[in-house]
């Protein structure tokens, strides 16, 4: 009888432990930033961020909202100089996270030479690109994902003078990626900062103080190019052999264009 009781108690303890693991959650944040384009403003209507954990069904099956999404209309060109927009900060059940996509609404527009134009957004584009995550979420851990919206590639000028939006988004898991940051002078105009190697291109504009941050940079060796606004009549500067290690932040010396 004592052996039976001991066995029963042990079995219940195992069951409780397994249940806690299954019910464990991971903290997940999703942020959005911008790879720049030559416009006055690019406003996109964010309606949802969806995830897919079950990859066994058809491509359009198994999608669900990540929950508690910061919906709204965001100007992508304000997300430069290291600025990013928080879209979600939620707890998700531990387990496999296969894919993610950004869902857009109809209120998308572009500002060119001070004039605003609505951007046609086909329903296929509104439903969002399928971004491969392929991440096992462990209970009690924190995960940060970055959606880098490539404005230059995403905005398409139509033959009739209008514009359409076909999102091109670079996805990165920030734990496995790094940043390159620095400061450009003079700062009374905007400069384009681009890090590039054979596999990756990451870019951002400087902010009002000349600061910049390139997010989600995979490990590798890069050429960093600083291109000042053409009206400045200043030369383009190149920083070669910038070595980026995984999970690090590389701070370049202050870059003087004069």
Looking at the domain assignment, is residue 4 inside a domain?
no
Same domain, 172 and 239: no
Q: Give kind and range of the element (H or E) at residue 12.
A: helix 2-23
Query: What confidence category does residue 231 fall into, taking pLDDT thresholds of 50, 70 and 90?
Result: confident
Q: What are phi and psi of 12, to 5 degrees?
A: -65, -40
pTM of the model: 0.69
Same domain, 186 and 152: no
Same domain, 30 and 113: yes
For the stretch 152-176, pLDDT in tens is 888 998 888 889 998 888 887 766 5
Same domain, 149 and 195: no
257 and 185 in contact (C-beta within 8 Å)? Answer: yes
For the stretch 113-148, pLDDT in tens is 899 999 988 776 777 778 989 989 999 888 888 888
pLDDT for the residue numbered 182: 93
pLDDT for the residue numbered 23: 60
The CATH number for 230's domain is 2.60.40.1120
pLDDT for the residue numbered 12: 43
Same domain, 81 and 202: no
For the stretch 41-65, pLDDT in tens is 999 999 999 999 888 777 778 899 9
Same domain, 195 and 89: no
pLDDT for the residue numbered 175: 60
Same domain, 35 and 139: yes
As for how many domains the chain has, the answer is 2
34 and 80 in contact (C-beta within 8 Å)? Answer: yes
Looking at the domain assignment, is residue 126 inside a domain?
yes
For the stretch 65-84, pLDDT in tens is 999 999 999 998 888 766 78
Same domain, 93 and 145: yes
């Amino acid at each position: 009888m004592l052996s039976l009781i001991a066995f029963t108690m042990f079995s219940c303890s195992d069951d409780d432990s397994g249940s806690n693991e299954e019910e464990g959650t991971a903290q997940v944040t999703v942020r959005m930033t911008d790879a720049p384009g030559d416009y006055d403003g690019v406003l996109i209507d964010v309606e949802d961020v969806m995830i897919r954990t079950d990859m066994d069904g058809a491509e359009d099956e198994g999608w669900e909202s990540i929950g508690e999404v910061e919906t709204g209309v965001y100007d992508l060109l304000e997300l430069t100089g290291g600025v990013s927009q928080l879209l979600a900060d939620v707890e998700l059940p531990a387990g496999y996270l296969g894919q993610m996509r950004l869902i857009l609404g109809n209120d998308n527009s572009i500002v060119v030479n001070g004039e605003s134009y609505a951007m046609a957004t086909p329903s296929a584009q509104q439903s969002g690109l399928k971004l491969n995550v392929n991440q096992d979420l462990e209970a009690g851990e924190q995960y940060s994902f970055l959606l880098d919206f490539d404005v230059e590639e995403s905005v398409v000028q139509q033959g009739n003078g209008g514009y359409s939006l076909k999102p091109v988004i670079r996805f990165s898991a920030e734990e496995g990626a790094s940043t390159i940051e620095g400061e450009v002078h003079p700062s009374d105009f905007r400069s384009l900062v681009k890090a590039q190697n054979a596999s990756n291109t990451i870019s951002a504009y400087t902010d009002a103080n000349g600061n910049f941050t390139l997010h989600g940079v995979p490990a590798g060796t890069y050429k960093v190019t600083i291109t000042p606004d053409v009206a400045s009549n200043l030369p383009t500067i190149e920083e070669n052999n910038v070595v980026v290690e995984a999970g690090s932040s590389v701070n370049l010396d202050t870059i003087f264009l004069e």
